[in-house]
Amino acid sequence: MAYIYSDVSRTFSEYLLIPNLTTEKCTPNNIDLGTPLVKYKKGEESSLKLNIPIVSAIMQSVSNDTLAIALARCGGLSFIYGSQAIESQAEMVRKVKKYKSGFVVSDSNLTVNSTLKDVIELKNKTGHSTIAITDDGTSSGKLLGLITTRDYRISRDPLGRKVHEFMTPFSKLVVGNLGISLSEANDIIWEHKLNCLPIVDENQNLHYLVFRKDYDDHKQNPYELLDNNKRLVVGAGINSRDYEERVPALVEAGADVLCIDSSDGFSVWQKNTLEHIKSKYNVPVGAGNVVDREGFMYLVEAGADFVKVGIGGGSICITREQKGIGRGQATSIIEVASARDEYFKRTGIYIPICSDGGIVHDYHIVLALAMGADFVMMGRYFARFDESPTKKVKSGNGYVKEYWGEGSNRARNWQRYDLGENQNMKFEEGVDSYVPYAGKLSDNLETTLNKVKATMSSCGSATIRELQETARLTLVSSTSIIEGGAHDVILKEKEY
């Protein structure tokens, strides 16, 4: 007969953390949220680290280039979704790598023959009031001038007026030379009382725009996740079908790390994918998802640089309903973390694990870390923000954003659920939904990280490693869960 586990499959909501002694060294300001992303040997450091233990899910409705930029600027990482054409995914990766903190590639560009009507339409489309005028209308063409709202008056100037008649010509612009630092660019901005400084090469070709406001913004993001060339770090999702064509394009575009995206990663197709990539490219690759010791070890021995844990725990995932496959997220993490630690003791190689799914409340992040995860992957959390790729929709007195699963009919990401047969989805494993709109990523993430640090402080842990070694957890009853929230009172409506 089938093997039956005696332990109950448990979720994060069934656990609470017991406080440990809080000392001066583990106040929130002293807590280090840095964590390894890819495997490393004992006595060495991981070649790729996160500054915060959070990555965004490999989903159409979550991880595009705009969210990847915003999250990397806060210290985390996005995996650009792979359920799209290879070239469009590679282009998203390129956009993130081209973005330099404070150095912005202009996406509002026109030629000298454009008209005021074109200027107004472009401003309405992008929301940007500064427009670069180049010889070919691209972001990398020869810079001929700049236009801001100070250069025209809609009420008086005819819409057909040519750009060259009212732009600020190159001869009157103050520019910076390619290669200067952000600090040097900012000095020029302040010295000449500028709002924008174009950065050009020796041939007058435009490369970046530096804005006064972005320098201040940069100083407010000390945890930016940067590579050795001071570019933002970005990942990309891949599948076990078209990896031979997709991976070289992503590597060429500059992807720092890849992750095989599958609802069930305990398969020979993931092994084949890992072995192929490892034989041809020098790029780290994560694999998953798995929920037990056997699945973890299979992927590790196939060459995975990190392993993603979780099946069926995502808010839009219905794999457990449709197939009866999965496991409670807490139980999965605990077992896989135990296998990871045993492997480290035996081989001296540490394999980071990512908890994917099951995060409902912010404190669940700390629970996942305490149970042994090195970082968490979230989808619904990020889908709520301005930077996610989906539409903001009016609903009642508020707004919502669209959020759909990769296994839904809308996404039709059949590769993620591939069982080695024909190229189609026979049934859904995800739903199409809405999530409450929450505003800017940075504002919400700051609140979440403050909660994470406060919880770690109460646990007496200044680092994630300390948390994993010293945290104490307790199971809770259904009635104690009720006790943990506001109860036996009449709540006031918020007036602020």
**Which two structure tokens, joined as six digits, stand for 141?**
């063409």
**Which two structure tokens, joined as six digits, stand for 196?**
């924008």
Coil, strand or helix at 90 = helix
Coil, strand or helix at 315 = coil
Q: What is d(CA 461, CA 20) in angstroms, rounded to the nearest whole number?
A: 8
Q: What is d(CA 485, CA 490) in angstroms, rounded to the nearest whole number?
A: 13
Is residue 273 a contact partner of residue 302, using CB atoms and an 8 Å limit?
no
Is residue 148 a contact partner of residue 129, using CB atoms and an 8 Å limit?
yes
User: Are β-strands 375-378 and 353-356 bridged in parallel, bridged antiparallel, or unpaired?
Assistant: parallel
- Those residues with Cβ within 8 angstroms of residue 446's Cβ, 6 or more apart along the chain or in another chain: 74
Single out the catalytic residue among 26, 317, 354, 459: 317
Is residue 264 a contact partner of residue 407, using CB atoms and an 8 Å limit?
no
Closest among 355, 363, 348, 384 to 70, alpha carbons compared = 384
Coil, strand or helix at 468 = helix
**Which two structure tokens, joined as six digits, stand for 180?**
């200067």
Q: Is 123 exposed, middle or buried (0-12, 13-18, 19+ CB in 10 A)?
A: middle
Q: What is d(CA 71, CA 393) in angstroms, rounded to the nearest whole number?
A: 23
Is residue 197 a contact partner of residue 189, using CB atoms and an 8 Å limit?
yes
> Distance of CA 379 to CAs 187, 314, 407, Å?
40, 8, 13
Q: What is d(CA 306, CA 284) in angstroms, rounded to the nearest whole number?
A: 9
Closest among 371, 373, 377 to 459, alpha carbons compared = 371
Q: Which one-letter amino acid corresponds to residue 121?
A: E
Tokens 């798995």 correspond to 290
459 has catalytic annotation: no
416 has catalytic annotation: yes
What is the CA 385 to chain-centroid distance, rounded?
A: 12
Coil, strand or helix at 40 = strand
Coil, strand or helix at 277 = helix
Closest among 272, 304, 273, 302 to 287, alpha carbons compared = 304
Single out the catalytic residue among 94, 231, 380, 416: 416
Catalytic residue annotation = 317, 416
